[in-house]
Structure 1
Amino acid sequence: MDIYERIKNRDPNETEFHQAVFEVVESIKPVLEMHPEFRSANILERIVEPERVIMFRVPWMDDGGDIHVNRGFRIEMNSAIGPYKGGLRFHPSVNLGILKFLAFEQVFKNALTTLPMGGGKGGADFDPKGKSNEEVQRFCQSFMLELARHIGPNTDVPAGDIGVGAREIGYLFGMYKKISNEFTGVLTGKGLNWGGSLIRPEATGYGSVYFAAEMLNARGETLEGRRCLISGSGNVAQYTMEKLIELGGIPVTFSDSNGYIYDEKGVDREKLDFLMELKNIRRGRVREYAEKYSEAVYTPVDPDLKYNPLWDHAAHCAFPSATQNEINGIDAGNLVKNGILVVSEGANMPTTPEGMNIFFDSGILYGPAKAANAGGVSVSGLEMSQNSMRLGWPAEEVDSRLKMIMKNIHKTCLDTAEYYGTPFNYVNGANIAGFVKVAQAMLDQGLV
């Protein structure tokens, strides 16, 4: 029985994890043939198993005095090249399988950045939406009471993710500082006046656009004048739009869980400022954008549709920036049909295997998440460096370093794919390059 079948039989309900493992296993087959030492040391069997899985209860009290219990997790997947690094996600969908998939992807993503970071992920099935600041604070403090014993600046450095923004990071850090009695860089995504890095909120979106620009540049094209479909309306989507506007692209869509906006004229700086105020300060819904701008069309989610109509508009570039598996086979077919040249993934694994195969067959430029959305964790790594040195770099320097990291990731993926006989296959390039780096480190360190 091969390793993929063993994983499915052992953990049958972890479908997202199965999907992530299958993608990597398929990509690295040529590597295993060329490196018998990886097979003899059972590197693949070891790399798919977390070094440590932590699961705990999180009791907290709401404003009415009622007690609730959520489930918290931290998956410490692999520390071969550095301390565990990866976000915390607070969302009702959080479960062990989703976090294992995210942690597994994080291992290879972090390896591609060239920074010394291992892979991890964590979170809870808690929903911050609709909760008061006081309720969110009480939950974060209870969550950190348990998590604190498992993390540290040289052990495991969490960050934010879906449902964990600046507010949550602040509450988590405050409780960690109280428990540990030290001020240290144990979390990234911190406030600028207490150890955070400039460009961190923007990093994933900016990085996704930089990666798309590099893919187009490899074929002699640019983002200038390109119409762009974006999903989501959180940090990743917002700063994807911001960087696109700066580079001459034209964002025309964005979304939330209730529906999506299509703006034929495109989102400009003024419109983006309104969206950021709407989502970040008022925590409103995207339909309010269409109420302000008459040229925009709002389409509510139709649960009976087998596809997402957001991806069925004529455009040149697509930036899925919401959640996993948001582009299925029908969506991928619609994107290709409508003239998409490049897909750059800002979310984690937003394309299903069927969708990926359609992208491969069509020959479009497809940047997978572990490469294209590595900007966020790259700047998290830069924040760790700044914390260690007790200094802060100006925004221009951080952005310049981010751009160079994304350029290097692109070159690594492109060169690796070419070397293994699959030119412009960024999925193979990213998986192979990340795997080889981690596998070599594991060999060097022995059976640990």
Structure 2
Amino acid sequence: MTTGKEYVTAVFEKVKAQNSHEAEFLQAVEEVFDSLIPVFDKYPEYIEENILERLVEPERVLSFRVPWVDDRGQVQVNRGYRVQFSSAIGPYKGGLRFHPSVNQSIIKFLGFEQIFKNSLTGLPIGGGKGGSNFDPKGKSDNEVMRFTQSFMTELQKYIGPDIDVPAGDIGVGGREIGYLFGQYKRLNGYKNGVLTGKGLTYGGSLARTEATGYGAVYFAEQMLKARGEGFAGKTAVVSGSGNVAIYATEKLHALGAKVIAVSDSSGYVYDKEGINLETLKQLKEVERARIVKYTEHHPNAVFTPAGGDSIWTIKADLAFPCATQNELNAADAKALVANGVIAVTEGANMPSTLEAIEIFLEAGVSFGPAKAANAGGVAVSALEMAQNSQRTPWTFEEVDSKLYQIMKAIYTNSAAAAKEFGEEGNLVLGANIAGFLKVAQAMSAQGVV
């Protein structure tokens, strides 16, 4: 009889052979696979049904050309992607990322993670992800509009309210969602459930902008409660300065913690008095400026350019990596542990390397993995879908309350799964198992499809 370890190892070797050039995807797969060995020992029927190999292969991978015309009249060409990974528990759901780094490996890693994240929310949504290597930075509104219209002209063939519901991600905010929705509507008529993260005037949900950042803090709150602690008097470092970082900072301040550093791709700013949220929002949401400008408003703050000391060398009680994948490595983890960090909460997707995660777990640091801790955004996206279906908007307080309960349940279910499988306190293992089991049960019930 095949053991769980033998089965997982065999499937992973096959995945590596077939996807050897996709480093980010393989990293995400390895992290999940290591957690699932005890599941297959307990449920050998999933080995017989080959659930793991079926799950790790996307149901559909789309790659397409996106031609558009810039303001100089020059024709530009980018590449677009949509990976529809798993529809076992609902329509594909996952964001669109517009960034020069986007390639098939990154989209597949994000889509694979999304399967488990969406499962953990308890809502009926499957896993998907998409995007393009287009960079919206430095582009005019008209250039962004022309690109997004071309992108949606192709993507619209494969999405719909009950098929695949994209949302925003890095490089795709309210402006981009608006243009994408407008083009979809032009081609298909008004179907407001086809995208989430929409503006409030055309089917969007209150609290969607804040959801991922707020949700990460709500998850961290549960981790601290398990340690017998709270936010009051704690200091925090938050990487990034987009939606996730801004609203994690806002909620941390509201609950009594003090965020002392934030960053962007140009470097980070340290303010021992606490990051001024009003200034941060003005710079990032209104001016779209670099974080170095923060020091013009707060001369006592210190800016460190990229390439200098890492933001993770700052002494703080709490760390929230909210920027991008693999931003926190083993050296960063050692620095945080040496400085007494007690909890690390992933606001971005896979921001910590496997080596960094191992260091945190061995040191007894409470660690909130991305698929659990940053599920707030997709959770409220699903709540937006529900409001669209009902043609009924909910208040900010209603959505925020539902978000809090979802994040609390994700923590509870992840902690319970970790305990059940002999790794109490290991939320990486717990989240992977809790997310996987729901999908595996659905796949088993639906037969070989």
TM surpasses 0.5: yes
* Correspondence list, 1:285-324, <5 A: 285-302=290-307, 309-324=310-325
Runs of 4+ in 1 over 4 A off after TM superposition: none
CA-to-aligned-CA distance 1:167-194 (integer Å, 9 cap, x gap): 0000000000010023331000000011
* Correspondence list, 1:12-161, <5 A: 12-161=20-169
CA RMSD of aligned residues (A): 0.8
* Correspondence list, 1:241-320, <5 A: 241-267=249-275, 271-302=276-307, 309-320=310-321
Percent of residue pairs identical: 59
What's the CA shift for 1:2?
Answer: 1.5
Amino acid corresponding to residue 204 of structure 2 in structure 1: G
Equivalent pairs counted in the alignment come to 441
Q: Match for residue 208 of structure 2?
A: 200
Mapped to 1, the partners of 2:271 and 2:12 lie a distance apart of 43
Mapped to 1, the partners of 2:190 and 2:356 lie a distance apart of 47
Amino acid corresponding to residue 38 of structure 1 in structure 2: Y
Mapped to 1, the partners of 2:186 and 2:105 lie a distance apart of 32
Mapped to 2, the partners of 1:3 and 1:64 lie a distance apart of 50
CA-to-aligned-CA distance 1:91-140 (integer Å, 9 cap, x gap): 00000000000000000000000000000000000000000000000000
What's the CA shift for 1:378?
Answer: 0.3
What's the CA shift for 1:220?
Answer: 1.1
Mapped to 1, the partners of 2:293 and 2:355 lie a distance apart of 34
Amino acid corresponding to residue 397 of structure 1 in structure 2: E
DSSP 3-state at the match of 2:157: helix
1:218 is aligned to 2:223: no
Q: Match for residue 379 of structure 1?
A: 380
What's the CA shift for 1:313?
Answer: 1.2
DSSP 3-state at the match of 2:299: coil
Q: Match for residue 389 of structure 1?
A: 390
Amino acid corresponding to residue 279 of structure 1 in structure 2: K
What's the CA shift for 1:84?
Answer: 0.2
DSSP 3-state at the match of 1:287: helix
Q: 2:220 touches 2:345 (CA, 8 Å); kept in 1? A: yes
TM-score, normalisation: structure 2: 0.97
Q: 2:49 touches 2:444 (CA, 8 Å); kept in 1? A: yes
DSSP 3-state at the match of 1:174: helix
DSSP 3-state at the match of 1:223: coil
CA-to-aligned-CA distance 1:25-76 (integer Å, 9 cap, x gap): 1001000011111000000000000000010000000001000000000000
Mapped to 2, the partners of 1:349 and 1:371 lie a distance apart of 11
Mapped to 2, the partners of 1:395 and 1:182 lie a distance apart of 25
Amino acid corresponding to residue 142 of structure 1 in structure 2: S
CA-to-aligned-CA distance 1:281-339 (integer Å, 9 cap, x gap): 1110100001210121000011xx6xx52001111000000000001000000000001
Q: 2:317 touches 2:343 (CA, 8 Å); kept in 1? A: yes
CA-to-aligned-CA distance 1:139-158 (integer Å, 9 cap, x gap): 00000000001000000000
DSSP 3-state at the match of 1:393: coil
Q: Match for residue 5 of structure 2?
A: none
Shifted more, 176-185 versus 32-41: the winner is 176-185
Gaps of 5+ in 1: none
Mapped to 1, the partners of 2:329 and 2:263 lie a distance apart of 17
Gaps of 5+ in 2: 1-8
Q: Match for residue 174 of structure 2?
A: 166
* Correspondence list, 1:348-367, <5 A: 348-367=349-368
Mapped to 1, the partners of 2:391 and 2:201 lie a distance apart of 12
Mapped to 1, the partners of 2:196 and 2:37 lie a distance apart of 35
1:416 is aligned to 2:421: no
Q: 2:279 touches 2:297 (CA, 8 Å); kept in 1? A: no
Mapped to 2, the partners of 1:35 and 1:8 lie a distance apart of 24
Mapped to 2, the partners of 1:431 and 1:29 lie a distance apart of 11
CA-to-aligned-CA distance 1:340-366 (integer Å, 9 cap, x gap): 000010000000011011011101100
What's the CA shift for 1:262?
Answer: 0.7
Mapped to 2, the partners of 1:26 and 1:37 lie a distance apart of 19
Amino acid corresponding to residue 349 of structure 1 in structure 2: M
What's the CA shift for 1:7?
Answer: 1.4
